[in-house]
Amino acid sequence: MKRSKIRMLLQSPHPQDLVLVKGWVRTRRDSKGFSFIEINDGSCLKNIQVIAQSSLPHYDDIQKLTTGSAVAISGALVASQGKGQLWEIQASDVTIISLAPESYPLQKKRHSDEFLRTIAHLRPRTNKYGAVFRIRSELSYAIHRFFRDRGFYYIHSPIITGSDCEGAGEMFRVTTLNPGDRLPDGHAFDASRDFFGRETGLTVSGQLSAEMFALALGDVYTFGPTFRAENSNTRRHAAEFWMIEPEMAFCNLSENMDMGETFIRYLIDHALHNCSEDMELFAKFVDPSLMATLDHILTSEFVRLPYREAVDILSAAGRSFEYPVRFGTDLQSEHEKYLTEIHFKRPVILYDYPKSIKPFYMRVNDDRQTVAAMDILAPGIGEIVGGSQREERLDILEARMDELGMNRADYEWYLDSRRYGSVPHSGFGMGFERLIMMITGITNIRDVIPFPRTPGNIEF
């Protein structure tokens, strides 16, 4: 007999004479003549309540079932006599697949996030983490659907890369050389003897690849793992995270901002409509203002604010910031917080940043001082999207690279796209984990990724 998912059984429109469920015991309570067993199989947040009568064979074993044990239950799906649930199973057979010993770390109580991080291999068995990772899965699907519905193609940009100048941070080194090979006879590490014959790293961005494909397929996106070897110790940073990077041909900065805003709204809306039960958990236990916040983002226009005007607003704020605000410096966390959480109280898209603080590929504006960059800042999260219109003019791009001391020879393939059929195009990157943080109200990135990688932490 095929097992039924608990999610389906709890939605059943009618009783069923015989069903089979397999899952893990969340809790068990004895009553006179029978035992209540709550089973969870991960298909949804809710457990299903099983009634095991004392007349069942091996009832003494059933009474020893502990939290975390695995069981197969067959029986009848009937209307519950008790309050609190519509359906329950009157068991005709309880098969113990495996018994969890008393050392099972997860108890029938709330655990701290810090403790659960130390048992990241077991935490998906809890209500909260089960919910996060169901939502994460659903949002992944929604991302593909969003782009597919709009005629975008999904590009698999390389994970291993030789371009060290994607401009987005320190790279992890990829090598097949053994540590002992690196210093033969006291000589330094020799990349020309390595697997690829040159220094190689893990990708920090799929953007440059995506640009090449946008200039062929029109509208494309990447969605994959991204690696940053920065020694960042904050609740918003991980060394390995997932990023979504759409890239659109014949698209200017304004249309790029439209896409970013539409995209964020779509994903929030999708989570609310397709993960309502899991979302309620976060609204109830993690962030009581979550639903109001998400509703606000859905219904209010994002503020669009040139960098220069942001500087003016901050200068006129009448408060002293730890870091002074002036044109030519990047805005600090405290400034972003002021704009999104105090001044506007909604997401803000900042654009037209000073050229001096942005990478080579961003399109230089007519004022020659700013570039067509845009960052979407969300209240409580900070930067969730960073993007730009790309510099499509070969001469200006080359001049920028020279200005920044880059070796053009390393980018001949990239410059070819500006030599042959160059067109205005734009794109952005969105941190998937930061999106999940915004949607669930979870405040630490380590709690929205299955096995987080951060400086000094590679367990699991």
Partner RNA sequence: UCCCCAGUAGCUCAGUCGGUAGAGCAAGUGGCUGUUAACCACUGGGUCCGCGGUUCGAGUCCGUGCUGGGGAGCCA
Query: Binding residues for RNA, per CB under 7 A?
Result: 27, 29-32, 34, 36, 49, 51, 66-67, 80-85, 88, 90, 102, 105, 107-112, 114-115, 117, 168-169, 205, 228, 230-239, 241, 243, 323, 330, 332-334, 336-337, 382-386, 429-431, 433-434, 443-446, 456-457
Minimum CB distance to RNA, residue 139 (Å): 15
DSSP state, residue 167: S
How far apart are CB 445 and RNA at their closest, in Å? Answer: 6
- Which residue's CB is nearer to RNA, number 34 or number 213? 34
Residues 6+ apart with CB under 8 A from 242: 223, 224, 225, 226, 431, 432, 433, 449
Phi, psi of 74 (to 5 degrees): -120, 150
Q: What is the rounded CA–CA span in Å between residue 182 and residue 187?
A: 7
> Which of 361-371 are b and which e, b meaning 16 or more Cβ less than 10 Å from the residue's Cβ?
bbbbbeeeebb
Q: Is the CA virtual torsion 14, 20, 22, 26 positive or negative?
A: positive
- In the complex with RNA, the residue whose CB is nearer, 202 or 243, is 243
Q: State the nearest-atom distance from the C-beta of 187 to RNA, in Å.
A: 27
3-class state of residue 277 by DSSP: helix
State both tokens at 40. Answer: 């969870």
Nearer to RNA, 386 or 424 (CB): 386
Smallest gap, in angstroms, from Cβ of residue 111 to RNA? 5
User: Which residue's CB is nearer to RNA, number 194 or number 207?
Assistant: 207
Which C-beta is closer to RNA: that of 416 or that of 453?
453
Choice between 34 and 133, CB closer to RNA: 34
| Strand-strand pairing, 348-354 and 370-378 | antiparallel
> Hey, what's the torsion of the CAs at 230, 231, 234, 237, to 10 degrees?
30
Q: How far is the CB of 383 from RNA (least distance, A)?
A: 5
Nearer to RNA (CB atom), residue 197 or residue 225? 225
Q: How far is the CB of 161 from RNA (least distance, A)?
A: 15
Which residue bears the tokens 């210093």? 183
Q: Which residues pair with 95 in a beta bridge?
A: 72
Beta bridge partners of 375: 350, 386
Shortest Å, Cβ 405 to RNA: 16
Any bridge partners for residue 431, and if so which?
A: 243
Q: How far is the CB of 444 from RNA (least distance, A)?
A: 4
Instruction: Give the residue with the Cβ less far from RNA, 13 or 84.
Output: 84
Phi and psi torsions of 459, nearest 5°: -65, 160
- Which residue bears the tokens 């003494």? 60
Alpha carbons within 13 A on the beta-carbon side of 395: 0
Report, in Å, the least distance between residue 66 CB and RNA.
6
Alpha-carbon torsion (428, 432, 433, 439), positive or negative = positive
How many residues in total does the chain contain? 460
Nearer to RNA, 110 or 198 (CB): 110
Nearer to RNA (CB atom), residue 84 or residue 186:
84
Give buried/exposed letters for 415-447 (b at 16+ CB in 10 A, else e): bebbeeebebbbbbbbbbbbbbbbbbbbeebbb
Q: How are beta strands 160-161 and 201-202 bridged, if at all?
A: antiparallel
Please state the closest distance from residue 376 (CB atom) to RNA, in A: 8
* Closest by Cα among 460, 97, 50, 128 to 286: 128
